[in-house]
Amino acid sequence: MFKRLLIANRGEIACRIIRTARRLGIETVAVFSDVDAEALHVRQADHAVCIGAAPATESYLNVAAIMQAAKSFQADALHPGYGFLSESPALVEACTEHGVTFIGPTADAMRQLGLKDEAKRIAVAAGVPIVPGYFGAATDPATLVREAKSIGYPLMVKAVAGGGGRGMRVVSKPGELAEALESAGREAGAAFGEARLMLEKLVESPRHIEVQVFGDQHGNAIHLFERDCTLQRRHQKVIEEAPAPGMSTDLRRKMTAAAVKLAKAVGYAGAGTVEFLVEGGELSADAPFYFIEMNTRLQVEHPVTEAITGLDLVEWQLRVAAGEPLPLEQDQVRHSGHAVELRLYAEDPAADFQPSVGTLQRFTLPDDDCLRVDTGLRQGDAVSPFYDPMIAKVISHAPDRPAALHALDNALEELVVLGVVTNASFLRALLRHADVHSGHLDTGLIARDFDSLTELLPQYRAEAVEAGLWALLKQQSSKTGNRSWDADDSFQLGPARHIARQVLVDGALQAVVLGVNAATLSQQFEIAVTDRRTAFVWCGLRQVELVLVDPGASEEAHVAGDGQTRAPITGRVASIEVTEGETIEEGATVFVVEAMKMEHVVRSDVSGTVEQVLVAVGDQVSSGDLIVAIRSAVGERI
């Protein structure tokens, strides 16, 4: 076994790898960017070293810096986690060159299976069914347009590299193809360093089923059953479970056999996941299924497989990389009960899952023996715009599926997250959805029922706002010594005093009147007050943000949208689609900001003339920065 393991990753996966390494007596080396200096994975590791600036390209994607760190600490093994360089043959080859064992497959196997187009060619040769499409060597726009016509619409544009839904677009008609190709290629190039694209026929109402496979260096390969990853938004998973509900014995046998066959075709060693789409949403014995890709690494959702099998997949990875045979043969692998994982993200589902950044002013995770919680954050940590917005994973394991779903529902009631917007309320709505409970799933469920899943329920909201304002004014009075002449809360004489204030509530200007029960109400909510006249209130698994308005300023100064186009999030300017002096129509794309592993497209909401472009492609911008000013046709600016 290894003596010292460098973990070329961050966040919860780095913390998870550290746990297994410590149990096996292996020292760990954490790498971090300058914004992660105080991160949890840095504190938990035995050693840590900074490898560069916050942008991933200057740190977690920097092969040279990572290998220098491994050399400096004499690490004899390197675990890539998932994301970043986990599927980079260049990192595998660098490890070989420096005498460091890479915890994963060979560079050759990674090249063959890590790129979706090549993996499809291998699948065809191995007799594994694939989704009809185009995955040829020529990927110029003219070729893709021609092939799209042959495939027919609707179809999928997909990056040949990477995963996580990045570089993926659904195209419903020919007129949407050009923009989809440009956007997907740009996003894929930034995320994976590989902008090539492929096309697939859109499979109608599919289930997304993946099979966990494991191979060793002695020619053995087995499966560890399947996971259902059907519940997705923007082609990214939010709830996963194992085993797949409704999976027939015959279909499981056929799918797992196909997955193992694919792994053996390239002599695969290590953990891998073979992903399939099952057409029609039912997992009956004769349901048509298609291979779509293989992930040559550990998956985010691996804990549900660990839960039902009782195995530690990171330990298996380490043992296989050390040259040991697989710990078990196929007929020795058993599964028990049902496991479900939900991903808690810093994002706003009601705003099309826009990522949220900020400091965790309050952060309380559920604590129960029947739950597993994986996180790389603590209260006081910041959710950075530079990386994935996942805050934590919560995993339940119970004797059956209804009990596992119920345990997660209960777990959410213990959750408190203040300082960033989260998807907690959305997750609860999804867990309680009738089709989720019955197991009637397909990948279109979230999009189809988006409005009901993201509905802003009014219950307690008015009380939460009043409680938050009371907390803000209490903080102000404590700073001024409770002197009435220092207050700005509409002082009045008389016994029944009511305080009226103008407050921004989630960005919208609102007049709030405090009643005599405001102090009592404040005790019913979790509230975090900051020194910048802001309060965060936890209400119905949602955060309500209140910002005190300066009574001396004009109302217009506080209304969201100040007449100019601004960055919606801190990130890198991926493209500017307009030029100064150009006349544009309402709905035209103005610019694109890349942040948190996705593109944020900003469109014009008026027709008008571009007056000023203040940034260039590649510039780093902060949320709220002025980007483009447009004079509308009726004299307004956006």
Which residue's structure tokens are 């996580």? Answer: 164
Angle of the 424-431 helix axis to the 401-413 helix axis, nearest 10: 150
Residues 184, 188, 190, CA angle at the centre, nearest 5°? 120
Which residue's structure tokens are 């700005």? Answer: 488
Q: How far apart are CA 393 and CA 13, in angstroms?
A: 10
pLDDT at 629: 87
Closest CA to 510 of 470, 562, 477, 462: 462
CA dihedral 308, 309, 312, 314 (to 10 degrees): -90
Closest CA to 569 of 383, 424, 405: 383
* Dihedral over Cα of 37, 41, 44, 45: its sign: negative
Tokens of 218: 């002695």
How far is residue 428 from each of residues 264, 319, 594, measured CA to CA in Å?
A: 40, 38, 29
**Quick one: average pLDDT of 448-456?**
89
Count CB neighbours of 587 within 10 A.
10
Backbone φ, ψ for residue 544 (5° rounding): -110, 125
Tokens of 567: 């960055």
From start to end of 336-409, where are the E strands?
A: 338-345, 347-348, 354-355, 358-359, 362-364, 371-375, 382-383, 390-398
pLDDT over threshold 70, residue 596: no
CA count, 13 A, side-chain hemisphere, 580: 7
**3-state secondary structure labels for all residues of 415-484:** CEEECCCCCHHHHHHHHCCHHHHHCCCCCCHHHHCHHHHCCCCCCCHHHHHHHHHHHHHHHHHHHHCCCH
| Residue pLDDT, tens place only, 386-401 | 899 999 999 999 999 9
Q: pLDDT-based confidence at 142, cuts 50/70/90?
A: very high
Q: Which of the given ranges, 307-316, 485-494, 609-618, has the highest pLDDT on average? A: 307-316
Cβ pair 610, 581 in contact under 8 A: yes
**Quick one: average pLDDT of 181-210?**
89
Cβ pair 366, 412 in contact under 8 A: yes
Count CB neighbours of 435 within 10 A.
14
* Residue 533 one-letter amino acid: R
| Residue pLDDT, tens place only, 223-259 | 999 999 999 998 889 999 999 999 999 999 999 999 9
pLDDT at 484: 52
Q: How far apart are CA 222 and CA 168, in angstroms?
A: 30
Closest CA to 463 of 529, 524, 536: 524
Tokens of 141: 């726009």
Q: Would you report the helix, strand and coil content of the chain in percent, each value rounded to 5? A: 30, 30, 40
Q: Which domains does the chain have, with CATH numbers?
A: 4-103 (3.40.50.20), 111-136+203-453 (3.30.470.20), 141-201 (3.30.1490.20), 461-557 (no CATH), 565-632 (2.40.50.100)
pLDDT over threshold 80, residue 439: yes
Q: How far apart are CA 446 and CA 452, in angstroms?
A: 9
DSSP letter string over 240-275? EEESPTT--HHHHHHHHHHHHHHHHHTT--EEEEEE
| Residue pLDDT, tens place only, 290-318 | 999 999 999 999 999 999 999 999 999 99
Tokens of 171: 């195209």
pLDDT at 551: 61
Cβ pair 39, 10 in contact under 8 A: yes
Tokens of 472: 């803000």
Q: How far apart are CA 153 and CA 544, in angstroms?
A: 42
CA dihedral 59, 61, 66, 67 (to 10 degrees): -140
Closest CA to 15 of 381, 355, 408: 381
Residues 480, 486, 488, CA angle at the centre, nearest 5°? 115
pLDDT at 557: 38
Q: How far apart are CA 438 and CA 440, in angstroms?
A: 6
| Residue pLDDT, tens place only, 318-335 | 999 999 999 999 999 999
Q: How far apart are CA 168 and CA 99, in angstroms?
A: 36
Q: pLDDT-based confidence at 556, cuts 50/70/90?
A: very low
Task: Specify the DSSP class assigned to residue 129.
Answer: -
pLDDT at 375: 98
| Residue pLDDT, tens place only, 575-588 | 999 999 999 988 88
Residues belonging to the active site: 297
pLDDT over threshold 50, residue 131: yes
Q: How far apart are CA 397 and CA 372, in angstroms?
A: 8
pTM: 0.84
Tell me which H or E stretch contains 509: strand 508-514
Strand partners, 510: 503
